[in-house]
Structure 1
Amino acid sequence: MIDKTSPMPLYFQIEEAIKLKIEKGEWVSGSMISSEREFAEAYEVSRMTVRQAINNLVNDGYLTRRKGKGTFVSAKKIEQKLLGLTSFTEDMRSRGYRPASKLVSFQTINANQRLAKVLDITENHEVYEIKRVRLANDIPMAIETTFVPVDLIQLQEDHIKEGSLYSQVENAGFVIDYATQSLEASIAREAESEILEITKGAPVLLIERQTYLTTGKPLELVHSVYRGDRYKFMIDMKR
């Protein structure tokens, strides 16, 4: 129960009570929690106070809202170490998840100035634009848009649907060398929230990766939007 005489805000006390239930395993991943009205009656507080606590827990990744269904206990976040260059498929399999991709679009476009610079090609040069939703155990984890020069490798839509782009590249005889990657925090826009099955304004991670072959030739530019409530990146640091 909460202590109304405590200097600690009521919404914070509710947050801590819910987090404790989750951390002790009383509320398991995927289970639906009580409604705001039920919480308000149980704790004898206003629904606005409960809403603030729930919103904070959603933003912190403890809870997940599903449109038209309710609020649920989130699954444990998938951790990825920022060491080594692996594909999404390889990452998920190494962690015991079942990876899958849903192809949104596969087309060729003319490179704009920035794409041309990053991929070391001329402006208006043809590049593949591949948009996919990446899933782990059928749960959407990220929206990924990949750009690859058309004259570097011939890609087939059916092959993209079936597996890893990196596997196709390596099977074609290329050797992937290294990548540079940037991460920044953002919030989900309406279209992204619908695809990722999260609420509009929920935290997301924006990731951009430039990958290079051993020849020094750029292979790809990738823009990704990852769910902040299901994914986190780890890095080991040594002094």
Structure 2
Amino acid sequence: MARTPPRYLEIQQYILSRIQHGDWPTGHRIPAEERLAEDFNVSRMTANKAIRELVQRGYLTRQPGAGTFVTERKAESSLVEVHNIAEEVRGRGHHYTNRVLQLEAIDASEDVALQLGMRHGSKVFHSLIVHLENETPIQLEERYVNPRHVPGYLDIDFTTITPHQVLIEAWPITDIEHIVEAVLVDTATAQELSIPTSAPCLRMTRRTWSHDQLISYALLTHPGERYKLRSAWRDTH
């Protein structure tokens, strides 16, 4: 026999539905706990639990003396997994697009060669793409790929498929390395991300392997005010 879900989840689903359908835009004040408790015929404690969890998850914000309001959620990626950014955006119910700025074969600099385990000056494929969520830039992806592993990389239309999709189909990821740091960006990067040069950014350096093959090296730069990185750990013992 199926278990009836807790009543507070019913309230959460109602609130999330109104947000996702645009009925309650960013800044909208939601009904007070007392009103929600009355409408759903539950205790105020149950209504409080529903709201408190949505505040913790970043959908709502409380303003003492004023009420609870819909907040603008930051885009979010996992630190321990690699996901397709297009799917992440669409999974939030938003519109994904990108701009391909560069797609070329270049001579590997000393740093790129070191990161990819290649000789300095070897040919590498280089792509520079801005990813947008609802027409707002959320990531500048600069990626270097070993041509030996994906020889057709430069022929791909990256307006219809992301580099992540291409690489995962050719070489399933078995290992990843992430390094995250706070940075200020140069003028060109700031322009592509539609931010001032004084705005703090998060930069993730990512290397991916497929078994013993080092496939790609990427620099992923996100405006700090629009993005957050998440990590979770569970003790299985």
Give TM-score, length-normalised by structure 1: 0.64
1:212 CA drift (Å): 0.7
Q: Which of 113, 130, 133 does residue 136 from structure 1 map onto?
A: 133
1:98 to 67, 73, 95: 95
Equivalent position of 1:162 in the other structure:
160
Match of 2:174 in 1: 177
**Aligned residue in 1 for 2:149:** 152
* Post-superposition offset of 1:92: 1.9
Moved more, 157-166 or 204-213: 157-166
* SS of corresponding position for 2:157: helix
Shift of 1:117: 2.2
AA partner of residue 223 (structure 2): R
- Name the % identity: 20
In structure 1, give the amino acid aligned to 2:161.
G
Structure 1 residue 202 corresponds to structure 2 residue 199: yes
What is aligned with 1:219?
Answer: 215
Single out whichever of 186-195 and 144-153 deviates more from structure 2: 186-195
| 8 Å Cα contact 2:180/2:202 also seen in 1 | yes
Counterpart secondary structure, 2:159: helix
Identify the residue that residue 192 of structure 1 maps to in structure 2: 189
Aligned to 1:25: 28
Higher relative contact order (Cα pairs below 8 Å, separated by 6+ residues): 1
* 1:116-127 equivalence runs, <5 A: 116-127=113-124
Checking the alignment, whether the CA contact within 8 Å between 1:116 and 1:122 is kept in structure 2 is yes
**Structure 1: 5+ residue stretches without partners:** 1-21, 27-61, 63-73
Distance 2:137 2:190 in 1: 11
Residue 156 of structure 1 aligns to a residue in which SS? helix
Q: Does the CA contact (< 8 Å) of 1:106 and 1:157 recur in 2?
A: no
Q: What does residue 84 of structure 1 align with?
A: 81
Q: How many residues align?
A: 171
Q: Which amino acid aligns with 1:217?
A: Q
State the partner residue of 2:3: none
CA distances 1:114-170 after superposition (whole Å, capped 9, x unpaired): 222221222211101100111112111111110001122121344223212232234
Counterpart residue number, 1:228? 224
From the superposition, tell whether residues 24 and 140 of structure 1 become closer, same or farther in structure 2 (CA, over 3 Å).
closer
CA RMSD of aligned residues (A): 2.6
2: CA distance between counterparts of 1:126 and 1:225?
24
